[in-house]
Amino acid sequence: MKERVKVIGLETGRKTEFPDGSCVCELVSGPVAGAAHTCMGFSTWKPGTATDQMVHEVEEIVYIVAGHGKLAVGRDLVPYRAGQGVLIPAGVPHGVVNDSGEDLSMVYIFAHPEYPPTRRATAEEEGA
């Protein structure tokens, strides 16, 4: 039985690093661990980060591990902090804003076997 259990650390997950030092690491997914229905990852966003708003085809659940920041949803900013969970429904444009002086770290989960189909939000969706 234990051979079916997978433990994946940040050092072996599918990592994407950004020029500002922020990073996203897919830890559990179909491609990384053979997950059939879910994807889980960990991300750290450096102070001053403001990502483009993206739209996922499935809902996203996020748990804030450390720090605080905001979720840009169109023109709105939704604050969150360590110890809170966030539900982002499918089809909702959103981006991470770390306007604090500390790293913002979070765990994200999708009901999809890997990072789901995602597109950049249109100017209209962002409220431009």
Q: What is the pLDDT of residues 45-95, one digit of tens each?
A: 999 999 999 999 999 999 999 999 999 999 999 999 999 999 999 999 999
Place of tokens 């969150």: 80
pLDDT bin (cut points 50, 70, 90) of residue 4 is: confident
87 Cβ neighbours under 8 A, 6+ residues apart: 59, 60, 61
Give me the helices (H) in the chain, please: 30-33
Asked whether residue 3 carries a pLDDT value surpassing 80, the answer given is no
Q: What percent of the chain clears pLDDT 70, i.e. is strictly above it? A: 97
Q: What is the pLDDT of residue 128?
A: 67
Contact criterion met (CB below 8 Å) for 86 and 18: no
Catalogue all structural domains in the chain, each as residue range(s) with its CATH number.
Answer: 46-108 (2.60.120.10)
Q: What percent of the chain clears pLDDT 90, i.e. is strictly above it? A: 95
Q: What is the pLDDT of residue 55?
A: 98
**DSSP character at residue 4:** G
Backbone angles phi, psi at 66, to 5 degrees: -150, 145
pTM over 0.85: yes
Asked whether residue 1 carries a pLDDT value surpassing 70, the answer given is no
Mean pLDDT, residues 24-53 taken together: 96
Asked whether residue 2 carries a pLDDT value surpassing 70, the answer given is no
Average confidence score pLDDT of the chain: 95
Mean pLDDT, residues 105-121 taken together: 96
